[in-house]
Structure 1
Amino acid sequence: MPRPSATSAPARAPRVRVPRAQREEQILFAAEQVFAERGFHATSMDEVAERVGVTKPLIYEYFGSKEGLLSACITRARTQLREATELSWASVGPDAPLSEVFEAGVRAFFEFIDAHATAFVLIQQEGAVASQANPLIEGIREEQSAATVATFRAAPGLGAVPDELLEGCAEVVIGACERVAVWRAGRPGVGVEDATQIVVSTVWGGLASLLAPR
């Protein structure tokens, strides 16, 4: 039986083709880490590609540009945040008073931030891709606002409140949560319950006034 030549190259393992959806998720996961660590401008597409183990042209093929990659990462983060909030609302129960639903949603927001710190760092970088003009990011922001309005609308006593007023209230709630999250980032002594009570005690009064007889 002939022996293999000493100079023959070792056999290469066959390449395993990864489905596109799975590969995109791998890229987004790695990119989220790099964007959070470096910031948008200092992030290198080469570093993202190296962490995933793919070529840089593949990332451009999937996402078009660095701005497109950041936009996809932010959209993913906001989607996860919205789903976590909606899950908290569902867990309270359909007959719970709005005050309990409201508090559960606020608490879920801060719990998500603590568990997904890099995702929140990405959300803070929306300005780097001009979110107001970005349909992906703006679309998921509108979904989050619409879900909040739908939760308010389901509460007894809010049926006659105009949509525009409820939409404005939703924006106030979302904005308050995000700003308090930024504020507490440098204050490790402010826990989830502390942040929740800050938002609830500050914002709930205005929302509760809509439940009063008109």
Structure 2
Amino acid sequence: MSTTAKAPTRRKRMPRAERERQMIEVAEAVFAERGYTAASMDEIAERVGVSKPMLYEYFHSKEGLLLACIRQSRAALREVTEEAVAQAASAEDAMRRGLRAFFVFIREHREAWSLLRHEMALIGTSAADEIEATRQQQTDLISNLLGALVGESDPIRAEASAEFVVGACERLAIWCERHEDITPEIVTEYAMDLLWGGLAQRATKIDTARPEHHSPR
């Protein structure tokens, strides 16, 4: 009585985009744990479960993998910030929602935040430029918000205010690392207490300076 041997089961190939996301997620963790210089492509490949040549096929170099991590984080941060602000009912609500989105992102993406905040170790690499591009993205978003919702018509003043907000929030995020009990909601209110007062006064001045429009009789 003969038996037919079963063909070996082939492992289902993971779609390229999904595999790339997996590699980036693991790389973020390794970079955060070891630091960029000490992190090795061997360890990243082993954790992902792929060969090192495959890792190089996707990203070409360790720096290329780091750039991919930063770019993905930047895109994710932009998405959550824009979605939060889009649902706002007022300028103050928009600022509060935007700030909270940032602090929630930092809390939920610790590995990505670690890459961004340790930029001094990356000076001289393309990653430093990518980190600055992330900062510039947030500055542009806030500057546009000030123009659209607060009514700031002076682009230089709006840009200066946005730079101030971004810098302040970065320092608050670092401070939050030392205070695990401070939730995104709490630190958002701290930031609003300090930032919104000046912005609200500026909005009031702008409204006061606008000429009154009388309805024709």
- When normalised by structure 1's length, the TM-score is 0.82
The answer (yes or no) to whether the contact 1:111–1:192 under 8 Å persists in 2 is yes
Shift of 1:113: 1.6
Number of positions where the alignment pairs a residue of Structure 1 with one of Structure 2: 205
Matched, 1:194 2:190: no
Counterpart mapping for 1:132-143 below 5 A: 134=127, 136-143=130-137
Q: 1:11 to 1:33 in 2, by over 3 A?
A: farther
Q: 1:165 to 1:132 in 2, by over 3 A?
A: farther
Give the distance between the partners of 1:193 and 1:30, measured in 2 at CA: 29
The answer (yes or no) to whether the contact 2:26–2:44 under 8 Å persists in 1 is yes
Shift of 1:57: 1.4
The answer (yes or no) to whether the contact 1:81–1:112 under 8 Å persists in 2 is yes
Matched, 1:207 2:199: yes
The answer (yes or no) to whether the contact 1:71–1:136 under 8 Å persists in 2 is yes
Q: 1:125 to 1:64 in 2, by over 3 A?
A: farther
Q: 1:32 to 1:132 in 2, by over 3 A?
A: closer
What SS is found at the alignment partner of 1:62?
A: helix
2:59 pairs with one of 46, 60, 63 = 63
Q: 1:47 to 1:18 in 2, by over 3 A?
A: same
Task: Report the more deviating stretch, 21-30 or 33-42.
Answer: 33-42
Matched, 1:113 2:109: no
| Structure richer in helix, relative to its length | 2
Give the distance between the partners of 1:50 and 1:143, measured in 2 at CA: 34
Q: Aligned residue for 1:167?
A: 159
Give the distance between the partners of 1:92 and 1:174, measured in 2 at CA: 20
Counterpart mapping for 1:85-164 below 5 A: 85-93=81-89, 96=90, 98-130=91-123, 134=127, 136-158=130-152, 160-161=153-154, 163-164=155-156
Give the letter for the 1:164 counterpart: I
Shift of 1:126: 3.3
What SS is found at the alignment partner of 2:115?
A: helix
Q: Aligned residue for 2:10?
A: 14
Q: 1:191 to 1:140 in 2, by over 3 A?
A: closer
Q: 1:152 to 1:132 in 2, by over 3 A?
A: farther
Alignment RMSD (CA, Å): 2.6
Spell out structure 1 runs of 4+ moving beyond 6 A: none
- When normalised by structure 2's length, the TM-score is 0.81
Give the distance between the partners of 1:205 and 1:35, measured in 2 at CA: 39
Q: Aligned residue for 2:215?
A: none
What SS is found at the alignment partner of 2:98?
A: helix
Q: Aligned residue for 1:7?
A: none
Q: Which string of whole-angstrom CA distances, capped at 9 and with x for unpartnered residues, describes residues 72-92 of structure 1?
A: 112211221221111111122
